A and B are shown apart, each in its own frame.
Chain A
Amino acid sequence: MKVLVIEDERKLARLLKQGLEENGFTVDLAHDGAEGRFQVENQPYDAVLLDLMLPEVDGLSILSTLRKRGNDVPVLIITARGEVEDRVRGLNLGADDYLAKPFELEELLARLRALIRRSRGKPSPLLTVGDLVIDTNARTASRAGIAVPLSAREYDILAYLALNAGRVVSRTELIEHIYETDYEWESNVVDVYISHLRTKLDKGFPKTLIRTVRGAGYLLKGEP
């Protein structure tokens, strides 16, 4: 899951990046409004953490331009402006959730995960595809009741496919949602992880969950 953090307080931004990354998120940072707006308009993010008081362009106007242009990326506002009227204004402009500073990292993570699940139409923290169950809170997966040990990247790819189960996901899309924007990746990196996942998930099962759609990408599907 890739998240953009737009926060001008650099120390806090750096800490959020670290905290989120250690919990399996991929994080891009923007330190002012103009930079943040540019990034969110040009990169596919699974969620945006938006501070309201920003230099250049303030948070609420970023939010309103985003929504006006039809971009419905989930936005979680984090701000020290915790007045009810500010909250209402933010939510009315199209924010999905609101967290006042100072906040607990646990709460931020929980809300962020819930936000992303809801945006994919899957409000439960447990993603189920056939007999595959993914616990997005614990970041674990099991098939037919047996736990499948996964590396962080493998989990990220599997979770993304599961969130988009039934839909073909291209390699580029996977990379965009799992790696930082300026990460220099090799074209076959996804194929490598997919083959690892297949070994761990599908081996010994008659039904394969991960399918390759030639020329398009990958598809995670429970039913034949």
Chain B
Amino acid sequence: MTPLPRSLAGRLLAWQSAAAAAIVLALGLFFHGELRQIVLSAVDRALHSKAQIFTGLLHEEHGQVELELSEIIAGEYVIPRSGHYYRVMRGETILAASPSLANDNFAFGTDAVPSDAGGAGERFFTSRGPAGEPVRVLQYRFRAFGGHYDVTLAESLTGALAMIDKSGRFLLVAVPLGILLQSLTSWWIVRKSLAPLGRFSETIQAITHKNLGERIDPGTTVRELSGIARSFNDMLDRLAHVFESQKRLVADASHELKTPLAVIGTQCDVTLQKDRSPEEYGEAIRSIRSETRNVTRLVNDLLSLARLDAGLTEAAGSTPVRVEELAAHAVRMTEQMAAQQEVRVTVTVADFLRVRGSRPTLEEALLNLVENAVRYNRVGGEVGISASHEEGGDRIAIEVSDTGVGIGGPDRERIFERFYRAAAVRGSEGSGLGLSIVKAIAEAHGGEIRVASEPGRGSKFTLILPAA
């Protein structure tokens, strides 16, 4: 079987043409059959009426039965092989026969065909006449004048069959022509009906990242497409949102990267513009070193985020990780900073608590939280790391609390945004990405991050992760 065409127009055209061809063909055949039926039964009815007339024309005179034809009737029977024939027999004796038969004993075949025109004692059949032409024959047997009479009437079918043939020939041309015309009309209608689809597709194609704000007006297209148009607009809204935030992220990232580069570049330019003392050179190099550290951290953070965004972290091996070890790692990494700030870090984590996830990523998340807790703490402050099973759930909540400045309401909403830095910490070290990385890590593990804070008293970050 040949597969359906892939185009909607092709399918519509194929189905419609096939259906139309079948209908037209069936109608043609039916019409042809009916016509034949009608013509033959007209002939049969005429034969029947003539038979009645012939029986009525038999009469007895002087003990002799005769057929007395009026001239009007006799006329068509006179010329030999005229196509109109009769013969009346009494028993085996020929009583009368039309001159047109040429031979009174001409025998019609008995290719009997039943007819609805027949009465009692009548028999219809189709045969060949004396001239070899197709004829319709009626044999009528009746009883009269004390004997059996057989009337045989025959009428040529040449004219009738010619008419049927003519109609057949007409249909042979008309049916294919009808199918062809129908297909052409279908093609035009299909094209016309599917045109909105083409325009719709053009509208969609015209939308690129440069005009993502444009929408398809569902009112301008056909009803069947307006639903699609609305769905498409919704999709564009979502895409535009993602695109906008990506664009903002790139702009923010480039700003954050270019600023330290500008510092490094300017530091070099200023230092090189005249001879300096060894102390000044040393100072400049130290400054460049520190700025390089900032760029490095920023680049690492950006790469972490990019990996998380790409879903690469989920693909990494997921294993049970002891919370105690994560905490110990974070404490170890922040030891020096905590000592400088005179911040005391306390860990209260039961050794049996385990979370499920990728170890280095989870280490990074907790380290970020502890680092923040130490960095933005007051001198001599405290940082607490604790963990517990979430009530009635199979998740573990890891809490990191500090005694720092706290986070005000409006900031609390936004601290997990990329590059957002609360006013209180602006100007201090940090990429502004730490908390968004923690959030991305939590979400990549099917967990979440929450914050509670009291300005002036401190903050508490809760990292919720699935238990192993």
Contacts and interface: CB of A to CB of B under 8 A. Distances in A.
B266 A15 contact: yes
Interface in A19-46: 19, 22-23
A101 B259 contact: yes
Nearest to B291: A11
Contacts, number: 64
A10 B251 CA distance: 21
Contact of B265 (A8, A18, A81, A104): A104
A105 B262 contact: no
Secondary structure of the A side of the interface? loop
Contact of B262 (A22, A53, A55, A101): A101
B209 interface: no
A11 B269 contact: no
B255 A102 contact: no
A16 interface: yes
A81 B255 contact: yes
Interface string A72-85: 00000000111100
A83 B251 CA distance: 9
B274 interface: yes
Contacts of B7: none
A101 B258 contact: yes
A12 B262 contact: yes
Contact of B266 (A22, A23, A105): A105
B53 interface: no
A102 B265 contact: yes
A106 B269 CA distance: 8
A19 B255 contact: no
B205 interface: no
Interface in A90-138: 100-106
B120 interface: no
B270 A19 contact: yes
Nearest to B261: A102
B423 interface: yes
Interface string B256-299: 11110111111101100110000000000001000100000000
B254 A105 contact: no
A177 B423 CA distance: 34
A53 B252 CA distance: 10
B330 to A, nearest CB: 29
Contact of A9 (B259, B265, B267, B269): B259
Contacts of B266: 12, 15-16, 19, 102-103, 105
B427 interface: yes
Interface string A166-203: 00000000000000000000000000000000000000
B6 interface: no
A72 to B, nearest CB: 27
Contacts of A104: 265, 269
Contacts of B269: 19, 104-106
Contacts of B274: 22
Contact of B423 (A19, A55, A101): A55
Contact of B255 (A11, A80, A103): A80
A90 to B, nearest CB: 15
B426 interface: yes
Nearest to B268: A105
A152 to B, nearest CB: 13
Interface in B233-256: 251, 254-256
Interface in B405-452: 423, 426-427
A33 to B, nearest CB: 13
Contact of A105 (B259, B270, B291, B426): B270
Nearest to B290: A11
A103 B262 contact: yes
Contact of B287 (A9, A11, A82): A11
A80 B291 CA distance: 16
Contacts of B287: 11
Contacts of A18: 270
Contacts of A106: 269
A100 B262 CA distance: 9
A24 to B, nearest CB: 12
Contacts of A102: 258, 261-262, 264-266
A27 to B, nearest CB: 12
B259 A55 contact: no
A81 B251 contact: yes
B273 A22 contact: yes
A80 B259 contact: yes
B265 A103 contact: yes
A12 B254 CA distance: 17
A80 B266 CA distance: 14
Nearest to B273: A22
A110 B259 CA distance: 21
A53 B419 CA distance: 13
A108 B177 CA distance: 83
Contacts of B264: 102
Contacts of A53: 255
Contacts of A16: 266
B359 to A, nearest CB: 36
A194 B264 CA distance: 40
A5 to B, nearest CB: 11
A223 B269 CA distance: 41
B447 to A, nearest CB: 33
28 contacts: A11-B267, A11-B287, A11-B291, A12-B259, A12-B263, A12-B266, A19-B269, A19-B270, A19-B273, A22-B270, A22-B273, A55-B426, A80-B255, A80-B258, A80-B259, A80-B262, A81-B255, A100-B258, A101-B259, A102-B264, A102-B265, A102-B266, A103-B266, A104-B265, A104-B269, A105-B265, A105-B266, A106-B269
9 closest cross-chain pairs (CB), A and B: A105-B269, A80-B258, A102-B262, A101-B262, A80-B255, A19-B270, A102-B261, A102-B265, A15-B266
Given A15-B266, A103-B262, 19 more contacts: A8-B427, A9-B262, A12-B259, A12-B262, A19-B269, A22-B273, A23-B273, A55-B423, A55-B426, A80-B254, A80-B256, A80-B258, A81-B251, A100-B258, A101-B258, A101-B261, A101-B262, A104-B265, A106-B269
